[in-house]
Amino acid sequence: MKITKDTTTEEALKIGSDCQRCGRCCTYGSGFMLESEVARIAQFLKLPKDRFVKDFLLETEIFHTPVFKIRSLKKKDAPYGPCMFLEKNMCGIHDVKPLHCRVCNCKDGDDLHAWFMVHYCLNIYDPESVRQYDSYVKTGGRMIPGAELEKLFPDKQMLRKILSYERFK
């Protein structure tokens, strides 16, 4: 199945369920977590939400949208390492893992990651988010069909103003 901007969450979950449970995806890093998923996963781990955030997550942003990144167990002298929840090539929080981890897999992971970013990180009502997405695309970021700014942004004149920094808010 081809992944496009119009792929639904249910379809993305179905495509992402094709996980071979090999552990490769999680060996070189970890997934992203939305704020709305934090309490559920903290409860699963029987931890207070604030401690879970402090001990297991890094606050970051994608396209000016706050998200969490699950900490990695970085290897000596390497900028990467396995997800801290990876246990014997299996996810230690599989039953409650974040949407990003559920949809991305070794086979279609790049397109599903791009789908996730368009659906959950890009905010067309935030000019800075739009500019960062535009920069991402122009520098070779992965694009899925239908996720071109011209197709996502209904007001072409406003898009031009945002991209030329005539519009800040």
CB neighbour list of residue 115: distance below 8 Å, 6 or more residues apart: 3, 5, 7, 12, 103, 144, 147
pLDDT of residue 108: 67
Structural domain boundaries in the chain: 9-122
Name the band, by pLDDT with cuts 50, 70 and 90, for residue 3: very high
Count the Cβ atoms, other than its own, within 10 Å of residue 118. 21
CB neighbour list of residue 12: distance below 8 Å, 6 or more residues apart: 3, 103, 112, 115, 116
Q: Is the predicted pLDDT of residue 18 greater than 80, yes or no?
A: no
Q: What is the pLDDT of residues 149-162, one digit of tens each?
A: 999 988 899 999 99
pTM of the model as a whole: 0.89
- Cα separation of 108 and 131, whole Å? 26
Q: What is the pLDDT of residues 111-145, one digit of tens each?
A: 999 999 999 999 999 999 999 999 999 999 999 99
